[in-house]
Structure 1
Amino acid sequence: MRLVATGLLVLMAAIFVAARYFDHLHPAVGYVRAFSEAAMVGGLADWFAVTALFRHPLHLPIPHTAIIPRNKDRIADTLAAFLRDNFLIPKVVARRMQRLNVAGAAGRWLANPPMGRGRIGSGASRLAADILESLDQERLGGMAKGAIAGRLRAIEIAPLFGQALNAAIANGRHLPLLDGMIRWASRVLEANEHLIRDMVHARAGTVMRWTGLDETLASKIIDGLHKLITEMAEDPDHPLRAKAEEGLERLAHDLQHKPALRDKVEAFKGEMLDNQAFHRWIEGLWEASRAALLRVARDPERAMAGKVGEALKQFGETLQTDRKLADTINRFARRSAVGAASDYGDGIVRLVSDTIRGWDARTVTGRLENAVGRDLQYIRINGTLVGGLVGVAIHAVDAVLR
């Protein structure tokens, strides 16, 4: 496309020379000359504008050229600030989470579980067995609902969750969680594409707005972010996935050692234990299935086909029908997401900013130019043709006035 745009400019120059030579033959040749002359001006002006985005035209240090290499660090800070202000602040996360029915999704998944046939089922079965064996089996054998609730109140579950998360990470059972986070990021990006376009348009110069480069650049930025999310989803060794795993490891550590987070988990546990539907579920679960749990928990196929599977399906149906229990879980999910954004949002923003700052300016410029270059060359072509038409119009007006 660069050759086509340049070739068109050369063609206009050749036509101009020929029209100037034969200008005396016929008045219509004047229109051809005016078209080619103005087309050269338009083509050269758009060539300058396109080139100035990525480098100094003709290697001359003209002010306000080589915009992208010169502002790479500012672009990094601006993109990081955009992520922080539009994705990772608590009120934005809370607003997005209000639209999500976590309890309903969990209920549908439990009511029709794909468990017992893969890593999720195997991991859940082993975790259930470990938790059961860690509890006081003699007391649980004859406990009523109130005694079970009292025992659960006495257990600080945040450290257990932290240890379980550590175990899941060690065995690779956290990967579905990462995949879910990536899918969520993709949906959020799709819902906020207009914000990126508005940000680029607000910061674009007059030349970029006039030529439509701001819209092209915004589209390429959005496409690049979509491509990044897709690469994260498809590549298990992607560096950003590694950073996310580091965040999960930190969360596991905080669950065990950070008092504020442990207090939040304990508060949610208290709300759950005060819910009557949850009491009924605990009573039915332990009265009907505890004896079988310890025998089959280590066997995922038997566990999910037997009492545990029935209990999980029952709990899934309860999540879908009990409004109060679902509201409690959704509220906890919302608070957890808001807390994660508050605690870990700055780290994610710094990761984005530092990563872009660490990129080589020449490499970034070359890749970005290759990514959007075809559209930029169309701008050169359009500038050449539009300039020619303007030249014809001016010549026509001049001919009438003359």
Structure 2
Amino acid sequence: MTAATADRDAERRRALRRMKLLATGLLIVAAVVFAVAFALQERYPWLGYVRAAAEGAMVGALADWFAVTALFRHPLGLRIPHTAIIPTRKDEIGESLGEFVETNFLSDEVVAGRLGTLDLAGAIADWLARPANARRVVTEVSGGLTGIAGLLDDDRMRDAVEAVVRTHIVEPKWGPPLGRLGDRVLASGGHREAVDLLLDRLDDWLAAHPEALAQLVSGRLPSWMPSFVDRLVDDRVHAELRRFVSDVRRDPDHRLRHALDDYLADVAARLQNDPATIERLEDAKARAFDDPRIRELAASAWSAARAAAVDALSDPQSELRRRATAAVADAAARVTRDPELRASLNTRLADAALHLVSTYRHDIASIISDTVRGWDAAETTDKIETQVGRDLQFIRINGTVVGALAGFAIYAVATAISAAL
């Protein structure tokens, strides 16, 4: 219980005590007036009206005191049937209250009708469109994600990531999907750009490294050949190779391109249909993923990713936090400006809320009955009396006043009839 709740309960108890004193005081006043009027009625006949009023006030006060007291305890400690109703029937009251809430507040008609009158999306968007509120939401979400990240066990997360990767990436065969992907790439001609890029880079590299072919060609010539011959051969081979690469680059119909297309098509077909090729790829994949260095790389990647995410989420000035805040505010502003989008979101929010209420209506209502069932009988009585007891004391006061008026009216009518007869 919070301090504010405790203070409110204390104030209610003081108000209840004051109302009890007032109601009891009226009963005592009525009793004193009745005694005086009864004693002097023979001397002063008009006091008969006062006595009747006081007598009615006492009857009304006592009857209503009994009724109010019987709700919470046994009057005067006497175990009269149908008294102390709240402590003895606490569980039934809780179930009835839960059923009442479920039927009258959580019905589909009530929820749908209420949600249909609300512009939830607009209200949320108006609130989020303010930069301070968008920043607050991002801060709260970031704090929650940072806390969750801090609770994660690195070893278990690495095992979980590895299990997901193995189930959805490693264990399925790669050959047929890669082959089908290759067919689509070849059919679309997308590989030609990659070939052009490769030829461009090869030509640039040959231009920048003319000496790269020295050992490859002249190094294999006889040692007795003059050195100038070695240079001529190297230069000639280098020039011819660059010329060949240039021809392939300029000619989209070059035979090398066709040969490469045929080779790639053959590889794609074998990846889909050749068991030996598929098995070799699977063996290579298994060796790669079973390599301890690969697993160490995956572990370090997870640790680095988590550390980077935590740092970005923890820093209010990080690029991630700034971009997230701007994205939230921009999305909210768009919803505010677009009536159709807002209406669509309202429909979806209403459908989601209605689905949740329909699915968990009984569970929500059972919270009330379960909570009341878990209360101690004395605690339940104290809680309810503290909340509504002050208002119930007005019943006693009203009973005293109404009893007095009734007693006076009955005596007056009876006296008038008697005089008339």
Matched, 1:363 2:379: yes
Gaps in structure 2 of 5+ consecutive residues: 1-18, 151-308
Per-residue CA deviation, residues 224-261 of structure 1 (Å, 9 max, x unaligned), is xxxxxxxxxxxxxxxxxxxxxxxxxxxxxxxxxxxxxx
The answer to whether the 8 Å contact 2:134/2:329 transfers is no
Distance in 2 (alpha carbons) for counterparts of 1:60 and 1:377: 21
Question: 1:81–1:16: structure 2 CA closer, same or farther, 3 Å change rule?
Answer: same
Shift of 1:394: 2.0
Match of 1:365, SS state, is helix
Matched, 1:321 2:350: no
**Amino acid corresponding to residue 384 of structure 2 in structure 1:** L
Residue 29 of structure 2 corresponds to which residue in structure 1? Answer: 11
Shift of 1:311: 4.9
Residue 334 of structure 1 corresponds to which residue in structure 2? Answer: 350
Question: 1:380–1:91: structure 2 CA closer, same or farther, 3 Å change rule?
Answer: closer
Residue 121 of structure 1 corresponds to which residue in structure 2? Answer: 138
Match of 2:131, SS state, is coil
Distance in 2 (alpha carbons) for counterparts of 1:115 and 1:303: 18
Shift of 1:307: 6.1
Match of 1:88, SS state, is coil
The answer to whether the 8 Å contact 1:90/1:339 transfers is no
Correspondences of 1:3-402 after superposition (within 5 Å): 3-114=21-132, 117-118=135-136, 120-122=137-139, 167=145, 170=148, 300-301=316-317, 303=319, 311-402=327-418
Distance in 2 (alpha carbons) for counterparts of 1:327 and 1:97: 12
Distance in 2 (alpha carbons) for counterparts of 1:122 and 1:381: 55
Match of 1:114, SS state, is helix
Question: 1:103–1:44: structure 2 CA closer, same or farther, 3 Å change rule?
Answer: closer
Question: 1:319–1:58: structure 2 CA closer, same or farther, 3 Å change rule?
Answer: same
**TM-score, normalised relative to structure 2:** 0.49
Distance in 2 (alpha carbons) for counterparts of 1:373 and 1:106: 39
Q: RMSD value over aligned CA atoms?
A: 3.3
**TM-score, normalised relative to structure 1:** 0.51
**Amino acid corresponding to residue 36 of structure 1 in structure 2:** A
**Amino acid corresponding to residue 349 of structure 1 in structure 2:** A
Distance in 2 (alpha carbons) for counterparts of 1:367 and 1:310: 48
Residue 251 of structure 1 corresponds to which residue in structure 2? Answer: none
Distance in 2 (alpha carbons) for counterparts of 1:46 and 1:110: 54
Distance in 2 (alpha carbons) for counterparts of 1:115 and 1:391: 65
The answer to whether the 8 Å contact 1:52/1:66 transfers is yes
Shift of 1:116: 7.1
Distance in 2 (alpha carbons) for counterparts of 1:168 and 1:88: 36
**Amino acid corresponding to residue 319 of structure 1 in structure 2:** V
The answer to whether the 8 Å contact 2:126/2:336 transfers is yes
**Amino acid corresponding to residue 403 of structure 2 in structure 1:** G
Match of 1:316, SS state, is helix
Distance in 2 (alpha carbons) for counterparts of 1:107 and 1:11: 62
Shift of 1:352: 1.6
Question: 1:114–1:390: structure 2 CA closer, same or farther, 3 Å change rule?
Answer: same
Question: 1:106–1:399: structure 2 CA closer, same or farther, 3 Å change rule?
Answer: closer
Distance in 2 (alpha carbons) for counterparts of 1:369 and 1:63: 20
Distance in 2 (alpha carbons) for counterparts of 1:84 and 1:75: 14
Distance in 2 (alpha carbons) for counterparts of 1:8 and 1:18: 15
Question: 1:302–1:324: structure 2 CA closer, same or farther, 3 Å change rule?
Answer: same
The answer to whether the 8 Å contact 1:117/1:301 transfers is no
